[in-house]
Amino acid sequence: MGTKRSGPVGADAGPLIRFGDAMTARTVLDATATAGSFSVVEHLLASRELAAPLHMHSREDEFTVVLAGRIGFLLGEEVFHAGPGALVRKPKNQ
């Protein structure tokens, strides 16, 4: 990708990629477009779909904005749920 964008992004922001049976995602803005500062990825999840296997980010915090529905997160030993409009921060090394 690596394309710099200005203005709003829409449904055609990037190609949809299916990761096996785990999830579908679209990279809206990749790290090369922001000099490695951040990236924006849209995850399209069906009801009861696993977004990703348990994993940890060692270099960055991860943020999730919930647009519709409800999603659960495991942070440390606790499970949290978030609904539309929520912003969830997942700290690095978790």
Task: Work out the pLDDT band at 1, boundaries 50, 70, 90.
Answer: very low
Question: Each residue of 28-86: pLDDT tens digit?
Answer: 877 888 888 887 888 788 787 777 777 888 887 888 888 888 988 888 899 999 999 99
CA pair distance 86, 2, nearest whole angstrom: 28
Question: Could you give the 3-state DSSP secondary structure of residue 43?
Answer: strand
The answer to whether 66 touches 88, Cβ cutoff 8 Å, is yes
pLDDT tens-place string over residues 59-73: 878 888 888 889 888
Higher local confidence (pLDDT), 86 or 11: 86
pLDDT value for 12: 66
Confidence band (pLDDT; 50, 70, 90) for 2?
A: very low
CA 6 to chain centre: 20
Alpha-carbon torsion angle 79, 54, 18, 72, nearest 10: 0
Q: How far apart are the C-alpha atoms of 47 and 77, rounded to whole Å?
A: 24
DSSP 83: -
Count of CB atoms within 10 A of residue 21's CB?
7
